[in-house]
Amino acid sequence: MSTTQGTTLAPQLRKRRRKEAVAAYLFLAPWFVGLVAITAGPLLSSLYLSFTDYSLIGDSQWVGFDNYVEMFTDDPRFLKALNNTAVYVFVSVPLQLTFALALALVLDRGVRGLPFYRSIYYLPSLLGGSVAVAILWRQVFGSEGLVNEVLGWFGVEGESWVAHPDTALGTLIVLNVWTFGAPMVIFLAGLRQIPRSYYEAAGLDGAGQLRQFFSITLPLLTPIVFFNLVLQLINSFQSFTQAFVVSGGKGGPSDSTLLLTMHIYQEGFGNFQMGYASAMAWFLVVVIAVLTGVNFLMSRYWVFYSD
Amino acid sequence: MTSNAAAKRAQRAKTNDTLFGRVLRALAGKKLLTHAALIGFGLVMLYPLLWMVSSSFKPQEIIFREPGLIPGDVTLENYTNGWDALQYPFSHYFLNSAIITAGSIVGNLVACSLAAYAFARLEFPLKRFWFALMLGSIMLPLHVTLVPQYILFSELDWINTFYPLIVPKFLATDAFFIFLMVQFIRTLPRELDEAAVIDGAGHWRIFSRIIMPLCTPALATTAIFTFIWTWNDFLSQLIFLTSPDKLTVPVALRNFLDSSGDSSWGPMFAISVLSLGPIFGFFLAGQRYLVRGIATTGLR
């Protein structure tokens, strides 16, 4: 195949193609170095490390699947972290997307001053990942914080929300939901793509607002819902800063805000159990990959592509 | 169709009977209600931030007694106290953050645009494979590469320097921006490249003289997002920077919280406000690019 192609191609063209390929690999050279040294290379070496016992000093010891077995049989904190992460992700992401969609729908109905409102609601998305906002959160939900101050007006005496094991994770969920602005902007862009003529036609046929929403808006928006869902799930699984700062770096009280990412950090860079930390990190990657895969498979049944 | 509707509207306006007037007024009322709800909700959302700004100007002892936004007593004490609360004045940490952020922006602009040009415009063996790999690396959690990266950087003696935070950006590891620029370059007409080829321009000239100048919006988006992400970044700075003189603003802030516990909210708020200032500034200046960037790639 390649020989016949080789003989039919003019030598000049072949030369140009080769030149182009060389140029492409030169343009990509920095990225290749990064791939080997910073992303894919470390990804593979952490897979190797996950089967070893390694503490940065001395050599790594091959232990087979011991780290993975230990996670599920001998580390109650890991199971707790897994549970916390699941609650955090599966409660905050649907709430976040609901707020995002609701606000986008309201703003899309020709409200004047759209850029202004969009900016206001988007701002928390930019600031939400910062240490400064995490510090603020710690105060707002503290025993003398803003929330309890407001509750006080109604005669409710609240305890510290961040210091109580039943509510601490909730404050982090609220923080994640608070950053609904980014998916909202994506929803807004999606809503703009829906041709107005569809609504006019439906209106002429006598379809009410509710009917129009369920028969036009929602189906045509499902690709965007899907996109946001995948993105926010991936993002939320990786949340770290807020839980770390709000809980003072410990994941407390009683491990109630210990997310998987924090447990990995503590084992790897606190206790220098690099092998064990790598195993948990790989577990996290597999969970995210499987969930994303399932999402893509499921999308066939509910995501509507018009073309 | 439209002129017909306009004519109808004009006629209606002329015969503005009481019923139609009433409907119009009701509609206006409903709009007002929507605006009131939107502003009210926005206020609730932004209230903690506004309260933090206002509290940073309140004397320490009244912060908790005043949930309102207007300070009863204004002072700059928190700012002066907070500025010198740690071993180095905060100007030192701000400078560190600024150096890392500036380096990251330059790195991302250079490396990601080079890679994007290859993916968007050139044909080469295994292109689809590399492109898929690049897309996949966007979703890779930092946690899984951090341990081997740490080992690598400690072998290079780079721990407690800015290199681990800047050098990777020059290696296009923020693949988000490659993707963003690929999407953008694909929208540029190919005729431009072809004309340049006829004029005898090589790929480097096409890239630097034709594609890059046209990419300014994508480059601006990249710069702004890199700024915000790097300025906010915490985990990698926490891990790779260890000595007090190397700390960045987020890590210093967190140490501040650690050392003073919950006792000095005033100075902590003051520094927090200052640390969010640059992000807010970039947000105001680059809103257009931000919104476009999120809409096309789903960046945060």
CB spacing of B276 vs A127 below 8 angstroms: yes
The two three-digit tokens of residue B16, written as one number: 């503005």
Residues of A within 8 A of B142 (CB-CB) are: 238
Q: Report which of B175, B12, B204, B184 is spatially closest to residue B108, judged by C-alpha positions.
A: B175
What's the one-letter identity of residue B34?
T
pLDDT for residue A127: 94
Q: Is residue B74 part of a domain?
A: no
In chain A, the domains with their CATH numbers are 2-49 (no CATH), 69-302 (1.10.3720.10)
Give yes or no: residues B47 and B147 share one domain: no
Residues 103-142 of chain B with CB under 8 A from chain A are: 110-111, 114-115, 117-119, 122-125, 127, 130, 133-134, 137, 139-142
Task: Name which of B130, B143, B171 is nearest A34 (Cβ-Cβ).
Answer: B171
Rounded to an integer, the average pLDDT of A280-289 is 95
Convert the pLDDT of each residue in A21-51 to its tens digit: 999 999 999 999 999 999 999 999 999 999 9
Q: What is the CATH number for B141? A: 1.10.3720.10
Domain termination residue (choose one: B55, B72, B90): B55
Q: Which of B133, B147, B254, B260 to mutate to test the interface with A (most CBs of A within 10 A)?
A: B147
Where residue A149 falls among pLDDT bands split at 50, 70, 90? Answer: confident
**Distance between CA atoms of residues B282 and B230, nearest Å:** 13
> Is there a single domain that holds both residue B191 and residue B228?
yes
Number of domains, chain B: 2
Q: How far apart are CA B227 and CA B220, in angstroms?
A: 11
Whether A30 contacts B107, CB under 8 Å: no
Alpha carbon separation from B173 to A40, B110, B206, B288 (Å, rounded): 10, 12, 24, 25
Q: In this structure, is residue B103 part of a structural domain?
A: yes
Q: How far apart are CA A172 and CA A33, in angstroms?
A: 37
Q: How far is CA A54 from CA A46, A240, A277, in A?
A: 11, 24, 10
Query: Does B47 share its domain with B122?
Result: no
Shortest Cα distance from B19 to chain A (angstroms)? 22
Among candidate residues A130, A129, A128, the one with its CA nearest the CA of residue B271: A130
Strand partners, A55: A57
In a domain, B251, yes or no: yes
Give the closest residue to A101 by CA, choosing from A237, A202, A213.
Answer: A213
For an interface test with A, give the residue of B183, B224, B262, B274 to mutate (most A CBs within 10 A).
Answer: B262
- Please tell me whether residues B90 and B196 are part of one structural domain: yes
Contact of B156 with chain A, judged by CB distance below 8 Å, is answered with no
Distance between CA A241 and CA A134 in Å, rounded?
8
**Pairwise CB contact (< 8 Å): A38 & B145:** yes
Task: Give domain status of residue B288, yes or no.
Answer: yes
* Structure-token pair, residue A20: 């182009």
Q: Do residue A39 and residue B140 have CB atoms under 8 angstroms apart?
A: yes
Domain ends where: B55, B73, B98? B55
Q: Closest partner residue to A37 among B152, B203, B287, by Cβ?
A: B152
Distance from CA of A215 to the nearest CA of B (A): 24
**Residues A262 and A243: beta-carbon distance below 8 Å:** yes
Q: Do B211 and B124 share a structural domain?
A: yes
User: Pairing between strand A57-62 and A52-55?
Assistant: antiparallel
> Is there a contact between B122 and A189 if contact means CB atoms under 8 Å apart?
no
State the DSSP code for B57: T
Q: Are the beta carbons of B250 and B275 closer than 8 angstroms?
A: yes
* Domain-embedded: residue B230: yes
With CA atoms as reference, the chain B residue closest to A110 would be: B31
Same domain, B127 and B261: yes
B291 vs A contacts (CB less than 8 Å):
118, 122, 185
Cross-chain Cβ contact A285/B48 below 8 Å: no
- DSSP symbol at B62: G
Q: What is the residue range of B269's domain?
A: 81-297
For the entire predicted model, the pTM comes to 0.88
Picking from A28, A112, A132, the nearest residue to B253 by CB comes out as A132
pLDDT in tens, chain B (300 residues): 445 555 555 554 444 456 666 666 666 667 888 889 999 999 999 999 999 999 999 888 777 777 778 887 888 989 998 899 899 999 999 999 999 999 999 999 999 999 999 999 999 999 999 999 999 898 888 999 999 999 999 999 999 999 999 999 999 999 999 999 999 999 889 998 888 888 888 999 999 999 999 999 899 989 999 999 999 999 999 999 999 999 999 999 999 998 887 678 899 999 999 999 999 998 888 877 777 766 665 554
- Residues B47 and B90 both lie in one domain: no
B261-to-A245, B258, B264 alpha-carbon distances in Å: 12, 5, 7
Segment A87-112, tens digit of pLDDT? 999 999 999 999 999 999 999 887 88
Neighbouring CB atoms inside 10 A of B150's CB total 21
pLDDT at A3: 47
Put simply, the answer to whether B117 touches A27 (Cβ < 8 Å) is yes
Encoded tokens for B50: 């506004």
How far is residue B158's CA from residue B148's CA, in Å, rounded to a whole number? 13
Q: Does residue B218 lie within any of the structural domains?
A: yes
Closest CA to B271 of B81, B75, B58, B54: B81
Same domain, B244 and B203: yes
Please check whether residue B225 is in contact with residue B293, taking contact to mean a CB–CB distance below 8 angstroms: yes
**Which own/partner pairs from B57-66 qualify as long-range (CB within 8 Å, at least 24 positions apart)?**
B58/B266, B59/B266, B60/B264, B60/B265, B60/B266, B60/B267, B63/B265, B63/B266, B63/B269, B64/A144, B64/A149, B64/B265
What H or E segment, with its residue span, contains residue A60?
A: strand A57-62
Average pLDDT over residues A284-301: 93
CA A145 to CA B66: how far, in whole Å? 10
What is the model's pLDDT at position B22?
64
List the Cα angle B98/B100/B101 in 5-degree steps: 60
Give the Cα separation of B47 and B7 in Å (integer): 47
Percentage of chain A modeled with pLDDT above 70: 96
User: Does B63 reside within a domain?
Assistant: no
Predicted pLDDT of residue B298:
54
Mutate to test the interface with B, among A5, A33, A38, A112 (most CBs of B within 10 A): A38
Block residue for tokens 């928190």: B78
**Whole-number pLDDT of residue B31:** 80
Per-residue model confidence (pLDDT) at position B91: 94
**Using CB atoms within 10 A of its CB, is residue B161 exposed (0-12), middle (13-18) or buried (19+)?**
middle
Give the pLDDT confidence score for residue B278 in this predicted structure: 94
Residues of chain B in contact with residue A227, where contact means CB-CB under 8 angstroms, are 298
CB B169 within 8 A of CB B104: yes
- Residue B73's identity, in one-letter code, is D
Domain termination residue (choose one: B55, B72, B91): B55
B97 and B134 part of one domain: yes
Measure the N-to-C terminal CA separation of chain B; round to a whole number of Å.
Answer: 42
Do both B157 and B31 map to the same domain?
no
In the predicted model, what is the mean pLDDT of chain A? Answer: 90
Same-domain status, B97 and B16: no
What pLDDT digit, counting tens, does each position of A205-246 carry? 888 888 888 989 999 999 999 999 999 999 999 999 999 999
Quick one: CA torsion of B54, B59, B62, B67, rounded to 10 degrees?
A: 0
User: Both B259 and B148 in a single domain?
Assistant: yes
Give tens-digit pLDDT for A60-96.
899 999 999 999 999 999 999 999 999 999 999 999 9
Distance CA A237, CA A259 (A): 9
Q: Which residues pair with A53 in a beta bridge?
A: A61
